[in-house]
Amino acid sequence: MGHMRGIRHVAAGAVLMTAGLVAGTLTPATAHPTARTADTARSAAGQVACADGSMARTRGPGAPDPNTYTPEEAERLDRELTLARLRLGSDAALRAPVTVPVAVHVIADEDGSGSVSDTRVKRQVSALERTYSGERGGADTGFRFRLAGVDVTRNDRWFNRPDRYERHMKRELREGGPETLNIYTADLGGELLGWATLPQRYRGAPEMDGVVVDHRSLPGGAFEGFDLGHTAVHEAGHWLALFHTFQNGCVPPGDRVSDTPYERIEAEGCPDGRDTCPAPGDDPVHNYMDYSKDACMTEFTEGQGERMQAAWAAYRADPAR
Ligand SMILES: [Zn+2]
């Protein structure tokens, strides 16, 4: 494990949302925290979120922090999803099956270490298929996935610092339009599992659209407890406009999905039956949008499926279709 540095990375342009910080108040210089700063701030804040419209999943525990995303951004996203629902007339129309093309970009070290085999890439796409179809439990979200292509790039800098070289890497490798799920695999440092861009950012920065995950999180990888490919499943949820189930803690509107019970803080491990909010319902620790271990994650809800379908219609579907 020559690249385990024991520090956490955040995406280029990322800031840490702490109680006293609001996105946009940081100067560009401080918007690129060192890993050490990020580590300290994350411990205090409990949650990594990114000012460039991306969200992350980590392996480490954290303290409560409802401010994982700016309320203004979330409100605007909700307004646009509502418009998409109105435009399409009914929820039934939004439930048409969608097959998402998946382009996987494997980044490896120059000696080839950290590469991901075609077999594991295929298993990752199968994991997306099984989870979004409800095969493991929960709702059938209506999404299916097909592998559109795999490429392997050997580049030390991209592999070891995908946060710093994100723009270079994506400019060179990204494929397709808003409908193509681009997944990049690299070394994210050991604690950070992945991050994703939210769909409304496609218009302004199409080249940055996609999901970055640690290569050890794909099925058969070296991250014990996080090796079933559910990191990419979780990040694809963000890519389709889902927030964490613990978004806003116990405070409305929570994650803006009506059938996921409120949850004060992220789950760690698999705390079955945990109930951290006064509102009805146990914490959704089995939801793919929580932070539980991979095996613990077994469901999306109907409401999440509907939100993702609305997001698809609003931001990712081919308007000519
Ligand atoms: Zn996340």
The upper half-sphere exposure of residue 252, i.e. CA atoms within 13 Å in the direction of its Cβ, equals 3
Q: Is the dihedral of CA 143, 149, 150, 155 positive or negative?
A: negative
pTM exceeding the 0.85 threshold for the entire prediction: no
Structure-block tokens of residue 284: 């959704």
- Could you read off the pLDDT of 183-192 as tens digits, one per residue? 999 999 988 9
Domain ranges for the chain? 1-321
What strands, in cross-sheet order, belong to the sheet with 98-108? 54-58, 192-197, 211-214, 181-186, 98-108, 143-154
Q: How many Å lie between the centroid of ligand 1 and the Cα of residue 179?
A: 20
The rounded distance, in Å, linking the Cα atoms of 113 and 79 is: 45
Q: How many Å lie between the centroid of ligand 1 and the Cα of residue 320?
A: 31
> What's the burial of 25, exposed, middle or buried (CB within 10 Å: 0-12/13-18/19+)?
exposed
- Could you read off the pLDDT of 122-174 as tens digits, one per residue? 999 999 999 999 999 999 999 999 999 999 999 999 999 999 999 999 999 99
Average pLDDT score over residue span 213-231: 97
Q: What's the pLDDT at 69? A: 62
Under DSSP, the state recorded for 79 is H
pLDDT band at 26 (very low <50, low <70, confident <90, very high): very low
The upper half-sphere exposure of residue 176, i.e. CA atoms within 13 Å in the direction of its Cβ, equals 21
Q: How many Å lie between the centroid of ligand 1 and the Cα of residue 156?
A: 26
Instruction: Tell me phi and psi for residue 102, to 5 degrees.
Output: -115, 120
Q: Is residue 10 predicted with pLDDT exceeding 90? A: no
- Catalytic residue numbers, as ranges: 235
Q: How many Å lie between the centroid of ligand 1 and the Cα of residue 66?
A: 13
Q: CATH for 1-321, among 3.40.367.20, 3.40.50.1970, 3.40.50.700, 3.40.390.10?
A: 3.40.390.10
Residues of the chain with pLDDT > 70: what percent? Answer: 75
- Could you read off the pLDDT of 92-101 as tens digits, one per residue? 555 568 999 9
Structure-block tokens of residue 17: 């949302």
Q: How many Å lie between the centroid of ligand 1 and the Cα of residue 111?
A: 31
Q: How many Å lie between the centroid of ligand 1 and the Cα of residue 193?
A: 9
Q: Is residue 206 predicted with pLDDT exceeding 70? A: yes
Residues of the chain with pLDDT > 90: what percent? Answer: 69
Mean pLDDT of the residues in the chain: 81
Sequence-distant (≥ 6) Cβ neighbours of residue 317 within 8 angstroms: 98, 179
Q: 230-239 and 118-132 helices cross at what angle (nearest 10)?
A: 60
